[in-house]
Homo-oligomer: A and B are copies of this chain.
Amino acid sequence: MYAISLGEDGAELRPLEPWLAEEFLTHIDRGREFIGQHIALPDRVTDLESSRALLQSYAEKAVAETGRIYGIWADGKLVGGVLFRTMDIEHGNAEAGCWLEPSAAGKGLVTKAARVIIDWAIEERGLHRVEWQVSAANEPSIAVARRLGMTKEGVLRQSYLYRGKRHDIEVWSVLAPEWRAAKQAS
């Protein structure tokens, strides 16, 4: 029902709710290998039940205001999304993230979608700091952080145990004044 245009080609940002579990699973199945290179989302969404459970957990986070998930549709197909893995309204912090199936890569959809939700978080909900945690090997996601005007703050060494190996995690962030300055400059 609700939808926000992500540009001229008809791509849209929409609520990604539990009743879309089947569509979500199909999408993850298409992008399983690609998305799973750096993030655990595909490992958590392996069948209809787990797909619904993940969306359910984000629906509950939304109620408690501790997280949010958003889907990106292109050509009427769910192809990826952005999310606030955590949100702390009281302290003004959130951690954002993204995923995308390969067919939709290279069009800037994630950057556009992330801009929408970060702007909402800062301007509507009063967040001061939006963090972007990303595996040091995940170059596309790091590129998004850079395009969003974020600053690299450090590297959490071997903090991410993923598929049996430990990976470094880069921490990027943008602060509310930086976000507003960048909007005015553009």
Most buried by B among A2, A117, A160, A173: A2
- A contact residues, range: 35 or more
Copies in the complex: 6
With both chains docked as a complex, state the minimum distance between the C-beta of A121 and any C-beta of chain B, in angstroms: 9
Q: Are A161 and B4 in contact (CB under 8 A)?
A: no
Residues of chain B lying within 8 A (CB to CB) of residue A30: none
Which residue in chain B gives the minimum CB-CB distance to A168? B153
A56: Cβ under 8 A from any B Cβ: yes
Q: Are B153 and A156 in contact (CB under 8 A)?
A: yes
Q: Are A153 and B157 in contact (CB under 8 A)?
A: yes
Which residue in chain B gives the minimum CB-CB distance to A3? B2
A89: Cβ under 8 A from any B Cβ: yes
Q: In the assembly, what is the distance between CA of A159 and CA of B153, in Å?
A: 11
With both chains docked as a complex, state the minimum distance between the C-beta of A150 and any C-beta of chain B, in angstroms: 11
A183: Cβ under 8 A from any B Cβ: no
